């Protein structure tokens, strides 16, 4: 295996054959099923719970808050979410769980959970984050300092007011983007067994180690008595980065010691109770001079955090960090707020925070270019960040900066050069246009949150390599890429590797599958561990073969002494090595950066700001049916700079998947919540685009070499999701004017075409 070409995925055949075992596939005749009962009302006090399930057929246990011996509270930064709401406790959204019923079949558990009588004293509720900030609004956490304002943050440099006054052109608008649902194939699921001593759980999770920490506190078990395993996930996208099902499942298992308990969220439950992309209101002003130099940006955005904090604070800071996109500004004033409401809670979702601000920024940039009569990409290039520039957050960029290289590549593409021809080619009843966007996304955590990984690899007695992945595989194939990197360095083929998926008892703590960090950070740690293992193997092989170490070469299945031609099979070599010698571990800590003193920013402890970014220019051809407003995107090109490409197929697939999810966000997915209730309850009304709805995504890589990355790569997971909304909006703007509310459904586009105003309560 070498770096630079695709290697078939190590788990690929098992997945194609249906043999890969996901958490939801674990089964057995004696397995018990757990089902949660939800509050069903958005605000109130839990008054009482009935005893109906206890006497129902097949019911083994009913777990309520008082069954839990720990603190019964979950939360990554703020500890605000109960595993189960206690009697007298506060209901803050319709999905709050009040009990879990365990029975011998799923149907019986569901029936029993439904039968449970729940009495709740209703309280006033608030569903709009701007309303929630008014002094009269009902407060979700009485006595909490700050009331419903969960968090706020800012970035300030220069005097924005006076620079804006000095600008020749300004653009201002308010953008509203809705919640988005992860809509993974596999809903939240897992199996847990408590043997009276140890709680063991196999669960669809992006971070088994942090799950263990949260479970330990919430359920009152020491960490060493909890084991969490993360098999392959049927999708994650951030939705499984944090405890959602794990607390209920663990609590349920602890009520039935010795019995395996399984839990799988229904689609409706997943829609209601898993974290969403935060809906947002983004108000932005851009100013530039008549020569096309961007000068000042002012932005204020508000995120609906719903009932619980979850990842809201880092989503907020990530939003701040991406407000200024890929441009230089002399004056910056940004403010972000996250607000509690009685809606489903917002949390991590691929690129979190960035789509909500770049969707606004890239539309305003296009409007300025249009007013100046400039090529929108050339206008971006004029203002594009280069290495050595200070970005919006005050970070001087010293790593690779792909903004201008991607723009250069874009400017020469046929899809861009022929946009006039495309426009003119529209048949009767249709209009055609082309839109583009420059996007970027930071990788890893930034200062304040250590971004580390610890890799472990072993040469086994049989002369094979066992690689312990420390970061779950959500489906993106990072496990396979780890094998690819190790195989390249060890000169071994894929079939000589066994990949162990993350397991708190076997792998080493390496943080979540999140933040575009997995391949970068675990790859760095892994290559260090592999180097150490190689060194030990060469030392031992040198003794056995009587050769100098620089006369040895690792070859598939063996070590060869080059000058003598003598060879030692790896199995033979393993026999000469002690078990600890055959096991190598190494850690890696990602670089962080700090903004200089010119910039005032805060908060200072939520992984903000980033220092390494990946970059892309997305170009969309759009077509609108002028009679119906229906939008289609017949061609889509993503030009991406994310360092070197180690596996072209993996690279492409991340981009294709991100663009699909981004086009869903832009055009189809309308996560509609009314009075805290999800109106689009399942996949029949929440429309996720299928391959029939999407163009083939064309991918071009601009390969800059990132010196800090393993084999020169950078993170790519989140970036591609950001581009479609602004690229499509910029295309549509030529046809129907500005679109500030997404998704751009036929109805909204039709109203815009007819110059009408949109009744947002209707669409």
Sites of contact with its own copies (CB under 8 A): 2-5, 387-388, 396, 398, 400-401, 405, 408, 488-489, 491, 553-556, 560, 562-565, 593-594, 596-598, 644-646, 702-705, 707, 711-712
Strand partners for 467: 457, 499
| Residue 416 C-beta: closest distance to its own copies, Å | 18
* Of residues 244 and 395, the one with the C-beta less far from its own copies: 395
Q: How far is the CB of 721 from its own copies (least distance, A)?
A: 24
388/756 with CB nearer its own copies: 388
Closer to its own copies by CB, 712 or 738: give it.
Answer: 712
Q: CA nearest 141: which of 348, 305, 311, 261?
A: 305
Least distance from its own copies to the Cβ atom of residue 551, Å: 9
CA 644 to chain centre: 22
In the complex, the smallest distance separating the C-beta of residue 33 from its own copies, rounded to whole angstroms, is 48
Output 259 or 409, the one with its CB closest to its own copies.
409
Pick between residue 572 and residue 712 the one whose CB is nearest to its own copies.
712
Least distance (Å) between residue 606 CB and its own copies: 19
C-beta closer to its own copies: residue 405 or 446: 405
Residue 459: CB minimum distance to its own copies, A: 17
CA torsion angle for 614, 714, 317, 668 (degrees, to 10)?
A: 60
Q: Which of 593, 612, 595 is nearest to 392 (CA)?
A: 595
Q: Looking at beta carbons only, is 473 or 703 nearer to its own copies? A: 703
Shortest CB 566 distance to its own copies, Å: 9
Kindly list the distances between the CA atom of residue 301 and the CA atoms of 162, 340, 490, 671, 744, in Å, as whole numbers in the listed order.
22, 14, 49, 19, 20
Q: Considering the complex, state which of residue 102 and residue 573 has its C-beta at the smaller distance from its own copies.
A: 573
**Closest approach of its own copies to the CB of residue 540, in Å:** 19
Q: Are the C-beta atoms of 236 and 718 separated by less than 8 Å?
A: no
Cα pseudo-dihedral 161, 165, 169, 171, rounded to 10: 30
> Cα–Cα distance between 230 and 252 in angstroms, integer?
19
CB nearer to its own copies: give 147 or 442. Answer: 442
Dig out the tokens for 570 from the structure. Answer: 């790896």
Residue 131 burial (C-beta neighbours within 10 Å; 0-12, 13-18, 19+): middle
The nearer residue to its own copies, 259 or 380, going by C-beta atoms, is: 380
CA angle 449/454/459 to nearest 5° reads 175
Nearer to its own copies, 254 or 645 (CB): 645
CB of 407 to its own copies, least distance (A): 11
Q: Hey, what's the torsion of the CAs at 555, 557, 559, 563, to 10 degrees? A: -60
Instruction: Categorise residue 269: left if φ over 0, alpha if ψ from -120 to 50, beta otherwise.
Output: alpha
Least CB distance from residue 166 to its own copies, whole Å? 24
CA distances from residue 630 to 178, 376, 432, 595 in whole angstroms, order as listed? 19, 25, 12, 45
Residue 118: strand pairing partners: 49
Q: How far is the CB of 403 from its own copies (least distance, A)?
A: 11
Per-position DSSP letters for 152-220, written without gaps between them: EEEEEES-HHHHHHH-SEEEEEEEEE-BB----SS-SEEEEEE-SS-EEEEE--S-HHHHHHHHHHHHT
Q: Least CB distance from residue 377 to its own copies, whole Å? A: 16
Q: How far is CA 81 from CA 208, 273, 313, 575, in A?
A: 19, 12, 15, 52
Nearer to its own copies, 350 or 496 (CB): 496
The alpha helices in 45-115, defined as continuous H runs, are 106-115
> For residue 78, what are its two tokens?
């703020």
CB of 282 to its own copies, least distance (A): 29
**Angle between the N-to-C axes of helices 376-383 and 354-372, in degrees from 0 to 180, rounded to the nearest 10:** 110
Residue 44 or 402 having the CB closest to its own copies: 402
Return the structure tokens found at 419.
Answer: 């946009």
The angle formed by the CA atoms of residues 741, 747 and 749, to the nearest 5 degrees, is 60
As measured in angstroms, the least distance from the Cβ of 548 to its own copies is 12
Is the CB of residue 263 less than 8 Å from the CB of residue 248?
yes
- Which residues have C-beta within 8 Å of that of residue 467, sequence separation ≥ 6? 456, 457, 482, 483, 486, 497, 498, 499, 500, 526
> At residue 518, what are phi and psi to the nearest 5 degrees?
-60, -50
State the chain's maximal CA–CA distance in angstroms.
86
**Strand 583-589 versus strand 552-555 pairing type:** unpaired
Identify which of residues 624 and 713 has a Cβ nearer to its own copies in the complex.
713
Q: What are the b/e assignments for 26-44, b being 16+ CB within 10 Å?
A: beeeebbbbbbbbbebbbb
Shorter beta-carbon distance to its own copies: residue 48 or 564:
564
> What is the nearest approach in angstroms of its own copies to the Cβ of residue 492?
9
């Amino acid at each position: 295996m070498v770096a630079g070409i695709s290697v078939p995925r190590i788990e690929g055949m098992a997945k194609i054959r249906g043999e890969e075992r996901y958490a939801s596939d674990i089964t057995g005749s004696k397995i018990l099923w757990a089902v949660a009962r939800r509050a069903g009302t958005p605000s109130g006090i839990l008054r009482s719970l009935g005893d109906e399930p206890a006497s129902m057929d097949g019911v083994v246990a009913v777990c309520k808050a008082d069954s839990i011996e720990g603190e019964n509270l979950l939360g990554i930064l703020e500890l605000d979410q109960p595993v189960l709401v206690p009697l007298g406790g506060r209901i803050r959204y319709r999905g709050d769980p009040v009990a879990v019923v365990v029975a011998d079949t799923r149907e019986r558990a569901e029936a029993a959970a439904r039968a449970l009588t729940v009495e709740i004293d209703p309280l006033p509720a608030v569903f709009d984050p701007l309303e929630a900030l008014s002094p009269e609004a009902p407060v979700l956490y009485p006595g909490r300092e700050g009331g419903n304002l969960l968090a706020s943050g800012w970035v300030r440099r220069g005097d924005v007011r006076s620079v804006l006054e000095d600008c020749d052109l300004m653009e201002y608008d308010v953008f509203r983007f809705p919640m988005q649902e992860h809509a993974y194939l596999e809903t939240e699921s897992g199996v847990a067994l408590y043997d009276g001593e140890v709680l063991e759980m196999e669960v669809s999770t992006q971070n088994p180690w942090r799950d263990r920490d949260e479970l330990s506190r919430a359920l009152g078990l020491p960490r060493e008595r909890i084991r969490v395993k993360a098999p392959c996930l049927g999708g994650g996208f951030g939705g499984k980065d944090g405890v959602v099902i794990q607390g209920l499942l663990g609590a349920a298992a602890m009520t039935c010691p010795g019995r395996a308990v399984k839990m799988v969220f229904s689609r409706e439950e997943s829609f209601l109770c898993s974290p969403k992309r935060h809906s947002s209101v983004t108000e932005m002003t851009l100013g530039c001079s008549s020569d096309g130099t961007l000068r000042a940006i002012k932005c204020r955005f508000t995120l609906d955090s719903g009932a619980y904090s979850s990842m809201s604070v880092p989503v907020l800071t990530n939003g701040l960090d991406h407000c200024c996109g890929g441009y230089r500004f002399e004056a910056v004033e940004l403010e972000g707020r996250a607000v509690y409401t009685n809606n489903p809670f917002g949390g991590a979702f691929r690129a979190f925070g960035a789509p909500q601000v770049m969707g606004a920024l890239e539309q305003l940039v296009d409007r300025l270019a249009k007013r100046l009569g400039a090529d929108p990409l050339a206008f971006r290039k004029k203002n594009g960040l280069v290495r050595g520039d200070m970005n919006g957050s005050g970070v001087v960029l010293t790593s690779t900066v792909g903004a201008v290289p991607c723009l250069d590549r874009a400017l020469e593409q046929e899809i861009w050069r022929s946009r006039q021809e495309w426009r003119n080619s529209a048949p009767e009843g249709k209009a055609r246009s082309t839109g583009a966007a420059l996007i970027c996304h930071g990788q890893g955590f930034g200062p304040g949150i250590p971004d580390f990984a610890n890799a472990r690899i072993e040469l086994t007695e049989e002369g094979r390599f066992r690689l312990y992945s420390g970061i779950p595989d959500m489906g993106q194939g990072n496990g396979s890429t780890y094998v690819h990197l190790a195989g390249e360095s060890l000169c071994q083929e894929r079939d000589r590797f066994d990949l162990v998926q993350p397991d708190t008892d076997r792998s080493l703590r390496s943080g979540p599958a999140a933040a575009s960090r997995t391949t970068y950070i675990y790859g760095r740690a892994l290559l260090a561990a592999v180097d150490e293992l190689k060194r030990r193997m060469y030392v031992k092989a040198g003794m056995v073969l009587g050769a100098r170490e620089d006369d040895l070469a690792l070859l598939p299945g063996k070590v060869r002494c080059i000058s003598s031609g003598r060879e030692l099979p790896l199995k033979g070599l393993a026999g000469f090595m002690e078990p600890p010698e055959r096991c190598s571990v190494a850690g890696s800590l990602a670089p962080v950066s700090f903004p200089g003193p010119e910039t005032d920013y805060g908060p200072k402890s939520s992984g903000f700001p980033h220092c390494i970014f990946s970059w892309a220019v997305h170009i969309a051809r759009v077509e609108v049916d002028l009679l119906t407003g229906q939008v289609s995107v017949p061609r889509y090109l993503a030009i991406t700079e994310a360092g070197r490409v180690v596996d072209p197929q993996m690279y492409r697939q991340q981009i294709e998947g991100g663009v699909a999810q981004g086009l869903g966000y832009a055009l189809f997915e309308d996560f509609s919540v009314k009075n805290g209730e999800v109106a689009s309850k399942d996949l029949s009304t929440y429309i996720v685009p299928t391959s029939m709805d999407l163009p083939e995504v064309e991918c071009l890589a601009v390969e800059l070499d990132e010196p800090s990355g393993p084999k020169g790569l950078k993170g790519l997971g989140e970036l591609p999701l950001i581009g479609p909304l602004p690229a499509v909006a910029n295309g549509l703007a030529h046809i129907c004017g500005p679109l500030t509310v997404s998704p751009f459904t036929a109805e909204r586009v039709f109203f815009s075409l007819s110059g009408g105003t949109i009744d947002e309560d209707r669409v």
